[in-house]
Chain A
Amino acid sequence: MAQQAATKQRIKRIRLEDALNANVWDVDTKPHIIVDSEKCAGCADKACTYLCPGGCFTLLAGKVLYSYEGCLECGTCRVVCPKGAVTWNYPLSGRGVQYRFG
C-alpha cells in the first residue's frame, strides 16, 4: 500500500497546454485553419474535438470553437471531418511549430 501511494504521489500529469509549451513556436499572424460553421453544425460526432492533438478544436455549448495557435500541422482535422468543413493548409514562411527533435 505504501509503495502504491508513493507511486501515485509521483505521477504528475502534464497538461496539454504545458506539453505544447515545451515546443518551439513561431505562430503565424494569419490563421491557416478555417472552419465553415454551417457545415460543422450538421456533424454529430465532432471527432476533431478528440483527435486534434493540439487541442485546437473545443466544444462550447454544442458548437466547435477553433484556434490555430497550437496546431502541430498533422492534418488530422481535415481527414476526420465528415462534412468537409475544415479548410486547412500549412502555414506560410516557415511559421508554426518548429520541431527540434521530431
Chain B
Amino acid sequence: MGLPAKFDVAVVGAGPAGASAAYTLARKGFKVVVLERGRAPGSKNLFGGRVYSRPLERIFEGFRNEAPIERWVKREILSFMTEDGMVSVEYTSNGSTSFTAYLSKLSAWMASKAESAGAVIVTDVRVDDVLMENGRAVGIVSGGDRLYADVVVIAEGVNRLLCEKMNIVTPLSPEDVALGVKHVIRLGTDKINERFGLDSDEGLAWFLVGKATDYMPGGAFLYTNSATVSLGIVVFLSHAVREVKRHVYDVLEDLRASLPFVRLLEGGSLVEYGAHLTPEAGLRMVPRKLYGDGFLIAGDAAGLLINLGYTVRGVDMAAFSGYLAAEAVEEAHSLGGYTSQNLSCYERKLNDSFIMKEMKRHSMVQKLMVKGHVFELYPHVLVGAAKRLFEFEETSPKLLEAVNDSLKGRCSRLRVLLDVVTLMRGP
C-alpha cells in the first residue's frame, strides 16, 4: 500500500461512523489511517434520505454551513395506505432538526474533513481481516498486505463480515435486518417545489405503511432533495422471507407507478437505483461487547439504528458512535494503552449518550413492529373508518361508529388496547 509501516489508529470504513472517528482522532493529534473499500468515500454508502443534524453539529466544526445538506425537513407526512385509499397525518413547521441528503455526498464530505484534519484515507482497499496477535488486534490485513496500528476502529457497516470472522457476532439472520431499496428520481427544483408545496430550502419527509410494502412490516419513504426525490421501501427480512410474493423491485416500482406518486413524479427521470441493509433488531443486534483488546466497533456494524415507524435515525447514531469511539481511544491512551479494560470506557460513553438511551427507550416500538399485524391491521382500520366518515350518502355515522364499524371483523378492541399498552410501556 506504500504507507508508513505503523499508525496509531486504523479505521475500517469511511462511512459516517468511520469518518467521524477519523476526524475526531486526527484533531486530537493521533496518526490515523482510514481503509475504505470503495473508489471514493461514500461510493458504497446508501440510506433512505434524512439525517438528524444535532449530533453531527457536535462532531464537525462548521457543519451547518459546509455540509452537503439538500433541504431542511419542514413538512412530515405519515400515511396509512390500502387498496381503497390512504389516511395521512401531516405536520408542518417553521423549525427543523433534520435535513435531507445524499449519503454518498455526506460521507465524502465527512471523509474530506477527516483528511483536512490530518487523517490518511486509503480507498479501493477491502479489509479482509483484523490482524490479531496474542488475542489482541494489532492492525488489518488486505489481500497480502498488512498494516499495523495500535488500535483498530471497526466501522465496516451493517454486514460486519470482520466482526463475524472475529467471532464477536453470529452471522446476520433475517430477524436482524431490513432491506431498503430506493430510486433517486430527478424532477428539478421547480417541479418539486410546486408539486410538494415547498420553498427551495424546505424539505418533505413522507412515510407510508400498508399497501406500499404489500403489507410487509417496514414501510415506504419519500424524501425531497433539492432537485431529486428519493423514493424507496424498507422490508423487514424476518417477514419478507416468508411473506414476499413477488420481486422486491416490483413492489417499489408498483408504488412509483401508483397514485399519488405517479402524478407527483411525472416527467422525472431515474438517476440511481440502489439497495442496502439496515439494522432493524434494536438491542438484539448490538454485539455483547463493542470493544476488546485493541479494537472498538461503531456504526451499523454495532447495530446502532432506531426505526420508530414514523422516522428512522441511523446516520447521526453511527457518526456519534464513531465520535465516542475516538474519545474512548483518547481516554485509553491516557490510561496507558488499548487494553480491553481501558477501552471499556467506550461502553460507558455510549450508555451515557443519547445513543443507548434512545435504543433502550424505544425498544418496545421495535417489539411491536416485528409483530407484523400492525402493518396490515391499522391501515385497514383507518382507511375503513375514513371511508365511513367521508363517503356517506344520506346517513352519516358518528365518529366512534365509524371507527367501531371499521374495527368489526378485523380485530378486537382488546387487541388495539394491548398494542397501545405495548407502546406506552417503558423498556
Contacts and interface: CB of A to CB of B under 8 A. Distances in A.
Q: For chain B, which range describes its interface: under 10, 10 to 19, 20 to 34, or 35 or more residues?
A: 35 or more
B39 interface: yes
B45 A23 contact: no
B218 interface: no
B275 A50 contact: no
Contact of B126 (A55, A72, A82, A92): A92
Interface stretch (A8-16, A33-41, A60-68): A8-16
Contacts of B246: 50
Interface in B245-278: 245-249, 253, 256-257, 259, 262-263, 266, 270-277
Interface in A33-53: 45, 47, 49-51, 53
Contacts of A1: none
A75 interface: yes
A74 B277 contact: yes
Contact of B102 (A23, A80, A93, A102): A102
Contact of A94 (B46, B123, B179, B276): B123
B249 A79 contact: no
Interface string B179-214: 101011000000000000000000000000000000
B350 interface: no
A94 B241 contact: no
Interface of B: 37-40, 42-47, 102-105, 107, 123-124, 126, 143, 158-159, 161, 171-174, 176-177, 179, 181, 183-184, 228, 230, 237, 240-242, 244-249, 253, 256-257, 259, 262-263, 266, 270-277
A45 to B, nearest CB: 7
A79 B173 contact: yes
Given A7-B262, A72-B274, A75-B277, 18 more contacts: A7-B263, A11-B262, A19-B183, A19-B273, A23-B274, A45-B242, A47-B240, A50-B247, A51-B248, A74-B277, A75-B158, A76-B179, A79-B174, A82-B241, A100-B43, A100-B104, A102-B103, A102-B105
